[in-house]
Amino acid sequence: MKLRNIAIIAHVDHGKTTLIDVLLKQSGVFRDNQRTEERMMDSNDIERERGITILAKNTSLVWKDTRINIVDTPGHADFGGEVERILHMVDGVVLLVDAAEGPMPQTKFVLGKALKLGLKPIVAINKIDKPEQRADEVLDEVFDLFASLDANEEQLDFPVVYGSAKQEWMSLEPTGPQDSMAPLFDMILDKVSEPQAEEGEFRLLATTIESDPFLGRILTGRIASGVAKPNMAVKALSRDGKLIETGRISKVLAFRGLERQAIDEGEAGDIVSVAGLTKATVADTIVDPQVTEPIQAQPIDPPTLSMMFRVNDGPLAGTEGSKVQSRVIRERLLKEAEGNVALRVEETDEPDAFIVSGRGELLLAILIENMRREGFELCVGRPRVVYQEDEAGNRLEPIEEVIIDVDDEFSGAVVQKLTERKAELLEMRPSGGGRTRLVFNAPTRGLIGYQAELMSDTRGSAIFNRVFHEYAPYKGQIQGRHTGVLLSNGQGEAVAYALFNLEDRGPMMIDPGTKVYQGMIVGEHTRGNDLEVNVLKGKQLTNIRSAGKDDAVKLTTPMKLSLEGALSYISEDELVEVTPESIRLRKALLCPHERKRAERAAKAS
């Protein structure tokens, strides 16, 4: 059967996964009466809850006697490591762009990677049914983006389709006909070249890895040359050509619709999964025993943020989670780093602490969320940027390109806040509907914790996008959090009467009945210093009846932080304690005497 391998790339929320749903339906993968879920490719719980794609996934369909292998890629910049690897497996890409928003930072990031590999994109302008759509202007913006990324003449002559994945149609004209996806299918067959099989023995570059309880490690990639058969002897080579292991392929699997099926033989050019190896991982080449040269793998962009993961040593440790030992946490982190090439795990001088580096806050927050759902208890520190040095020994820090769409009335406040965080305003222009588009280059340090502040300043109306831009000279000191915190001075359960009397000191973060301990953060102080408070103090009860009836205590709704909010809120001397049931904020040193001693030592040095 003829083959086509394509990836669908786009900025987050531009409709990639919805488009794949419609392509699967219209190609006849499902029966007419078969019940299907929305966003079928988003398979894990967190993807469904957040409405985002985190892991790249494969599917396959047949159109006019041609099998089309499709890869759904993540849209968030934090998961860019997934996208970079995937582009090596395909011969063409469909670049999906929102007809109202136009090209966004992640569009630029993934398109740049695709153009560098020599791929020729098909541009699909999606969501044309939106009242604020501006398809003609967006097409001009896409062309300018191609030109700015040094696309060659062939790549600049890109074909275009318009449509709405939600309404299940694509057409060569913005006005229709609005009946099916056939124009996009036909364009893929016409414009994407067939995979070129190379001469020689079996070679496959592993681009994704997963674990199966029955088959063990499963590696997915495109066969560059030769054929893959079950029980075939193979070996795995690292990127620099060193032998990792030898073994046999126990199963060859290929996608047929959403299901993965065992096949007798995988041919060159096809995307398949192989099982049977125990040590080979992403970016390794699986080859016939006679082959000595690995397939060249693209180096992945370096991590920009790091975080300290450590054993939970608080008084409530072990009461809510089952996996608390440093050995278990270490094994889980190393397993994650094995399959996610954008993640790096390093040991520290302390036996129960590890430094985990990744592309952004969201990537690290998703890892922590997955671990707590698996029963882990751990403490994590504030995200820190990963610095580099140039040849002259000067410190370089990561800079991100930030695009914010905001109502005109709030643009002044946004510019002021980001300028304080050492950001540089590059562009300010209207983006339609009484909104302004602001483009900045900002240090990653300055953006940690900024999103919550932005939403507060713009009453939740801003759209915030960011992507890694480059390493540049250090921008100088940036002021952190302006307020101090309220700390519990004892261990027990918080009492409503005590919380009510503390509300003048600042907003609380806990409800009555919450378990607290000494050194745990229970609220935000309105002033710049930390303050120890008693949240366990109940009302003194006497046998003398009071003249007036006691008023029922009415508490203000506490300030509850999400996991990402907590990570960006804490300062350098604080930790987030994460368990399957709770997210608590605390000081790294729980004892007040130890904190004072550490402060004096810091001032002396």
How far is Cα 479 from Cα 60, in angstroms, rounded to an integer?
A: 51
More confident of the two residues 33 and 460: 460
How far is Cα 472 from Cα 577, in angstroms, rounded to an integer?
A: 33
- State yes or no: pLDDT of 463 exceeds 90: no
At 402 the pLDDT is 87
At 41 the pLDDT is 45
Cα dist. 230→113, 179, 262, 340 in Å? 34, 43, 9, 27
At 578 the pLDDT is 92
Spatial CB neighbours of 189, under 8 Å, sequence gap ≥ 6: 4, 63, 64, 66, 68
Q: Which residues pair with 347 in a beta bridge?
A: 354
Q: Please give the structure tokens belonging to residue 588.
A: 């790294």
Confidence grade of residue 572 (pLDDT, cut at 50, 70, 90): confident
Shortest CA distance to 208 belongs to which of 45, 90, 338? Answer: 338
Residue 128 labeled ligand binder: yes
Q: What is the pLDDT of residues 89-140, one digit of tens each?
A: 888 899 889 888 888 777 777 788 888 888 889 999 988 888 888 888 889 9
Hunting for tokens 């996996």 — which residue is that?
A: 323
At 35 the pLDDT is 46
Of the chain, the end-to-end C-alpha distance in Å amounts to 71
Q: What is the pLDDT of residues 317-345, one digit of tens each?
A: 888 888 889 899 999 888 888 767 778 88
Instruction: Count CA atoms within 13 Å of residue 600 on its CB side.
Output: 6
Q: Please give the structure tokens belonging to residue 170.
A: 């694509």
- Domain 485-604 matching CATH 2.40.50.250: the answer reads yes
Instruction: Assess contact for 464 and 449: CB atoms under 8 A.
Output: no
pLDDT (mean) for 452-475: 82
pLDDT (mean) for 535-556: 70
Could you state, in order of their start, the residue ranges of all structural domains in the chain? Answer: 2-191, 203-287, 388-473, 485-604
Shortest CA distance to 88 belongs to which of 248, 219, 242, 271? Answer: 271
Residue 13 labeled ligand binder: yes
Confidence grade of residue 57 (pLDDT, cut at 50, 70, 90): low
Instruction: Assess contact for 536 and 417: CB atoms under 8 A.
Output: no
pLDDT (mean) for 191-196: 86
More confident of the two residues 255 and 312: 312
Shortest CA distance to 577 belongs to which of 517, 492, 493? Answer: 517
How far is Cα 340 from Cα 342, in angstroms, rounded to an integer?
A: 6
CATH fold of 388-473 reads: Alpha-Beta Plaits (3.30.70)
Hunting for tokens 């693209």 — which residue is that?
A: 298
Residue 127 labeled ligand binder: yes
Residue 14 labeled ligand binder: yes
The three-state secondary structure class of 533 is strand
Instruction: Assess contact for 104 and 436: CB atoms under 8 A.
Output: no
Q: Please give the structure tokens belonging to residue 13.
A: 């929320």
At 110 the pLDDT is 79
Cα dist. 276→138, 209, 253, 325 in Å? 47, 12, 12, 30
- State yes or no: pLDDT of 43 exceeds 70: no
Task: Give me the percent of the chain exceeding a pLDDT of 70.
Answer: 90
Instruction: Assess contact for 460 and 506: CB atoms under 8 A.
Output: no
Task: Report which residue type is found at 418.
Answer: L
How far is Cα 46 from Cα 335, in angstroms, rounded to an integer?
A: 19
Shortest CA distance to 80 belongs to which of 5, 9, 155? Answer: 9
- State yes or no: pLDDT of 547 exceeds 70: no
- Beta strands 92-98; 344-347: pairing state: unpaired
Q: Spelled out in words, what is the top-level CATH class assigned to the domain 203-287?
A: mainly beta
The three-state secondary structure class of 23 is helix
How far is Cα 570 from Cα 435, in angstroms, rounded to an integer?
A: 32
Residue 514 labeled ligand binder: no
Residue 2 labeled ligand binder: no
Question: Per CATH, the architecture of 2-191 is what?
Answer: 3-Layer(aba) Sandwich (3.40)
At 45 the pLDDT is 57
Task: Report which residue type is found at 314.
Answer: G
Instruction: Assess contact for 567 and 383: CB atoms under 8 A.
Output: yes
Averaged pLDDT score across all residues of the chain: 83
Shortest CA distance to 75 belongs to which of 44, 59, 97? Answer: 97
For the purposes of burial, counting CB atoms within 10 Å of the CB of 394, is it exposed (0-12), middle (13-18) or buried (19 or more)? exposed
Confidence grade of residue 77 (pLDDT, cut at 50, 70, 90): low
Shortest CA distance to 368 belongs to which of 589, 516, 562? Answer: 562
Whether residue 177 has a cis bond before it, omega within 30° of 0: yes
* 485-604 matches 388-473 in CATH topology: no
Element (H, E) at 192: none
At 79 the pLDDT is 58
- State yes or no: pLDDT of 54 exceeds 80: no
- State yes or no: pLDDT of 552 exceeds 90: no
pLDDT (mean) for 552-572: 84
Task: Report which residue type is found at 203.
Answer: R
Spatial CB neighbours of 258, under 8 Å, sequence gap ≥ 6: 24, 29, 40, 41, 59
pTM for this model (two decimals): 0.75
At 388 the pLDDT is 86
At 584 the pLDDT is 92
